[in-house]
Amino acid sequence: MNSLLLSINWNPNPELFNLFGISIRYYGLLWAVGIFFAYIIVHYQYRDKKIDEKKFDPLFFYCFFGILIGARLGHCLFYDPGQYLTSGKGFVEMLLPIKFLPGGGWKFTGYEGLASHGGTLGLMIALWLYCRKTKLHYMDVVDMIAVATPVTACFIRLANLMNSEIIGKPTDVPWAFVFERVDMLPRHPGQLYEAIAYLILFFIMFYLYKNYSKKLHRGFFFGLCLAYIFTFRFFIEFVKENQEAFEDHMMFNMGQWLSVPFIIIGIYFMFFYDRKKVAKK
Backbone phi, psi, residue 46, to 5°: -60, -45
Contact of 71 with 122, CB cutoff 8 Å: yes
Question: What is the rounded distance in angstroms from the CA atom of residue 35 to the CA atom of residue 67?
Answer: 10
3-state secondary structure of 215: coil
Q: Cβ–Cβ contacts within 10 Å for residue 150, how many?
A: 27
DSSP state of 248: G
Q: Which of 253, 111, 246, 119 is nearest to 190 (CA)?
A: 253
* Burial 13-24, CB ≥16 within 10 A → b, else e: ebebeeeeeebe
Q: What residues are paired with 23 via a beta bridge?
A: 18
Question: Would you say 157 is a known binding-site residue?
Answer: yes
Backbone phi, psi, residue 259, to 5°: -75, -30
DSSP state of 163: T
Task: Find the distance separating the first CA and the last CA of the chain, reported in whole Å.
Answer: 67
Annotated binding site: 157
